Amino acid sequence: MKIGFIGCGNMGSAMIGGILRQGIFSKDEIIVSNLTEEGRERSEKNLGVVTTLDNNEVVRSAKTIVLAVKPQFYEEVLDEVHNSLTADHTIIGIAPGKTLAWLEEKAGLPLKVVRFMPNTPAQVGEGMTAVCANERVSKEGLDEILKITDSFGCTEVIPERLMDAAGAVGGCAPAYVFMFIEAMADAAVSQGMPRKQAYKFASQTVLGSAKMVLETGRHPGDLKDMVCSPAGTTIEGVRTLEKNGFRSAVFEALTAAAEKGKKL
Ligand SMILES: NC(=O)C1=CN([C@@H]2O[C@H](COP(=O)(O)OP(=O)(O)OC[C@H]3O[C@@H](n4cnc5c(N)ncnc54)[C@H](OP(=O)(O)O)[C@@H]3O)[C@@H](O)[C@H]2O)C=CC1
Ligand SMILES: O=C(O)[C@@H]1CCC=N1
């Protein structure tokens, strides 16, 4: 077994999807645990990997362990698997607020610790993942880890002090983008467009706009100006967004998310 996941819900299965698609590991090299039999059956059916309800089996079977449970369960899970952990293990935390030092302390022995801050677009191979690691992880070890995160999208190695920012602009942000898409589509529907078509317009427009930022390297404000014809329709919408505090609302939302991460 090459990698184990303790917990396999939204984020665990999104990452495993990418790993399998890119052939980083095969199905029989991945073991996952779920809390419930229902969850275990879902993992088995949807991913075809080795499944168990026993977290210690995951730790005994694999040397790289991803903790893909909610932050509230981290401590209890680490406590539970403590006796199966060895100095050869690499523990990967993906929860906001659970620092490298905290993870090592709760694991109860000196070992390699890595943090990911992934996001759900990993499910379609377009994730954005932040990575940081403790000093026990060698350059070669980190390169191996990055092959994993690259399999489900883009990766940036960042200093740990930026993990809460990455959580806001990476981990949480898909939710805000989905809200934006939903709101744009609702508006199009209110103008008479069929809903399915409205989602296509809204989401392809977000996708294309994001691609323009990434591929042209131009400032987003510059790209926005390109769309706004003098005395045209777009600038009227820009005026309304500014009047309603659009930028400030986004700024505050990401700040709230990052601040919450610091408290977890
Ligand atoms: N969702 C997201 O967009 C992101 C999430 N994260 C982080 O990822 C982690 C997982 O989140 P997410 O996937 O959304 O959560 P989910 O609720 O979708 O999945 C949690 C999983 O943990 C399992 N589980 C719960 N308790 C235990 C336990 N004691 N032992 C073994 N498995 C257990 C559940 O099992 P069962 O299936 O049986 O219920 C479930 O599979 C969190 O720490 C979150 O902060 C990070 C970035 C983005
Ligand atoms: O909401 C959360 O706390 C998790 C972490 C980032 C995205 N989802």
Tell me, what's the pLDDT at 106? 96
- Amino acid identity of residue 223, one-letter, is L
Please give the Cα distance from 34 to 21 (Å, whole number): 22
Tell me, what's the pLDDT at 14? 94
Q: How far is CA 185 from CA 126, 173, 192, in A?
A: 22, 18, 11
Structure tokens at 199: 């989602």
What number does the ligand 1 atom closest to the CA of 36 have?
38
How many CB atoms are closer than 10 A to CB 98?
21
Tell me, what's the pLDDT at 1? 73
Tell me, what's the pLDDT at 35? 98
Which residues of the chain fall short of a pLDDT of 70?
A: none
What is the pTM for the complete model shown?
0.96
67 in Cβ contact with 85 (< 8 Å): no
Ligand 1 pocket test: which of 70, 98, 128 has the largest number of ligand atoms within 8 Å of its C-beta? Answer: 70
CA-nearest residue, atom 1 of ligand 2: 172
Phi-psi region of 158 (alpha: psi -120 to 50; beta: other; left: phi over 0): beta
Tell me, what's the pLDDT at 264? 87
Separation of 174 CA from ligand 2 center, angstroms? 10
DSSP per-residue codes, 157-184: E--GGGHHHHIIIIIIHHHHHHHHHHHH
Please give the Cα distance from 113 to 107 (Å, whole number): 10
Tell me, what's the pLDDT at 162? 98
Read off the pLDDT of residues 71-85 as tens digits, 9 standing for 90 and up. Answer: 999 999 999 999 999
Ligand 2 pocket test: which of 172, 178, 254, 259 has the largest number of ligand atoms within 8 Å of its C-beta? Answer: 172
Read off the pLDDT of residues 99-115 as tens digits, 9 standing for 90 and up. Answer: 999 999 999 999 999 99
